[in-house]
Structure 1
Amino acid sequence: MSASRLATAVLLLLCSLSQAREVLRFAIDAHNPPFMYVDSQGVAQGLYAQTLRQLGERAGLTLRIEAIPWKRALAYLEQGSHGVAGIYRNEERQRKYLFSKPIYREELVVYARKGHAMAAYSGIASLYGKRVGVLSGWFYSDAFSRARDEKRLLADEAARDAQNVDKLRLGRLDYLIGIRESIAALNQGELEEAGILASNLTYIALPDSPRSRALLLQLNPHIADLPDKARAP
């Protein structure tokens, strides 16, 4: 083999090894158990961390999963440095990012203090003029976003569900919105469901790039093979 061909072969081998060692970075929320959270050792845990690990293993990819505040996760997605798991899809996000097949479905419930519900939730107008506990950086529904932007309701932000639950218990909120499984772990019988705000599919979102499109081609075929608890019904 000539020296030039040998050099080319070595270069191709090095490129191949470099790609094989590529670490793909993903972010999840650090404060949303049981779906996504960080444990006492600083390790990302929960349904979406498990889903990412299973997909990475099945697709032969090396993933680095970071559990961080949700606003920071969204900022990293915006910057193009990370993918994000457990995210809802809306029109604005669809214009900017690429989305996997759905990986789960979350049901967003409106909660009130037990015996203190002003009225059952019957549509977004039920929340007009009310103080509603939400999580910082979260999208809930298009109707909720419009009502919030038009200041028809007061969205009171917190970093985690436990803070909203405490504020509702103390009467500092009229309602809070949370995922049923997340609030169930915090509810000691003082909260009751006032209605369902939305039922949202969750996805993996990636920066819009040729590399991300290729990555989705690797990940999507394995989503259908995930265990039932890690797939959208």
Structure 2
Amino acid sequence: MPQIRLLGLLLAALPLAAQADSPLPIAFDSGNPPAMWGEGRQVRGIHPALVNAAAQASGLAVQLQGMPWPRAMAALAEGKSCVGGAYANAERLARYQFSAAFWEERVVAVMTADAPSRELRKAEDLKPLRIGLHRGWSYGEELDRVLAQPGYQITRMTFGNRLFLALEAGKFDVVLTDGDSAVVESRRVRRPLAVRGTLSRNSTHVICPPRPTFGAALQRLDQGLQKLRDAGQLEAIVQAQLTP
């Protein structure tokens, strides 16, 4: 009888052991180059490269996947996966666990170069304009709060290239995106574009569901990130992803 009880305890512990040893699943936006892009395990870009390097430095097994950002955020909300390259806001901080900051991005306002010249430095400057936003994105706590108020003409799209094609076609007056993506996407359209202002600066993180196994993995990821930072390697990793 004791042997049967012991066997039962061992079998009950197997799923927990398998969960602890399984790679940490991290989803990234599949349509936002050079920050993160590519479907499935072909995901690449600044954020996947930084996370993968930190994981290797700490000996943490990870499974990186590219998918549309709304689907990545849904997997996070369902407790199935972490997401990488995400900004912090009050709602996310209340619900999830965060890694240390991996990088910092600028949120910029992009218009066609032939549009009437104006500087866009704060969200209130956008109110008369038709605004294109990435679906599922946070743009930082303050910018999110202001854009949620009545009076803003906002359309959200899932992939960055669609936003810029719509801007080129005159369907938007302005697109808000990160500064590196603005450079990449402006090369893909025929109509000249111009950055008219920086609206916020935000650190990027890996965000995970509130379970202990995810928390332990984030601690190891932070340790690897600190090793990269101490070795001065972060900038080189980013620049390698920005090189055409």
Q: What root-mean-square deviation, in Å, do the aligned CA atoms of Structure 1 and Structure 2 show?
A: 2.8
- Deviation, structure 1 residue 228: 2.5
- Deviation, structure 1 residue 38: 0.9
Amino acid at match of 1:62: A
- Deviation, structure 1 residue 180: 1.6
Determine which structure has the larger strand proportion and give its number: 1
1:173 and 1:119 mapped to 2: Cα distance? 15
2:104 and 2:25 mapped to 1: Cα distance? 23
Aligned match of 2:122: 123
Aligned match of 1:220: 222
Is there any run of 5+ residues in structure 2 with no aligned partner, and where? 229-233, 239-244
Q: Is the 8 A contact 2:57 2:225 kept in 1?
A: no
Aligned with 2:193 (options 188, 191, 197): 191
- State how 1:140-219 maps to structure 2 within 5 Å: 140-188=139-187, 190-219=192-221
SS in 1 for 2:202: strand
Amino acid at match of 1:22: S
SS in 1 for 2:186: coil
Distance 1:212 1:171, change over 3 A: same
Amino acid at match of 1:228: E
Aligned match of 2:83: 84
Q: Is the 8 A contact 1:117 1:194 kept in 2?
A: no
- State how 1:43-54 maps to structure 2 within 5 Å: 43-54=42-53
Per-residue CA deviations over 1:105-147 (Å, capped at 9, x if unaligned) read: 1111111111313521132211112111111111113343233
Q: Is the 8 A contact 2:130 2:174 kept in 1?
A: yes
Distance 1:94 1:16, change over 3 A: closer
Distance 1:219 1:173, change over 3 A: same
Aligned match of 1:67: 66
Is there any run of 5+ residues in structure 1 with no aligned partner, and where? none
Could you tell me the percent identity over the aligned residues?
A: 24
Amino acid at match of 1:82: S
Distance 1:131 1:14, change over 3 A: closer
Distance 1:170 1:210, change over 3 A: same
Distance 1:136 1:20, change over 3 A: closer
2:159 and 2:56 mapped to 1: Cα distance? 30
SS in 2 for 1:44: coil
Deviation above 4 Å: which 4+ runs of structure 1?
Answer: 10-17
- Deviation, structure 1 residue 158: 1.4
2:177 and 2:215 mapped to 1: Cα distance? 32
Q: Normalized against structure 1, the TM-score is what?
A: 0.86
Distance 1:111 1:13, change over 3 A: closer
Amino acid at match of 1:53: N
Distance 1:74 1:12, change over 3 A: closer
Aligned match of 2:37: 37
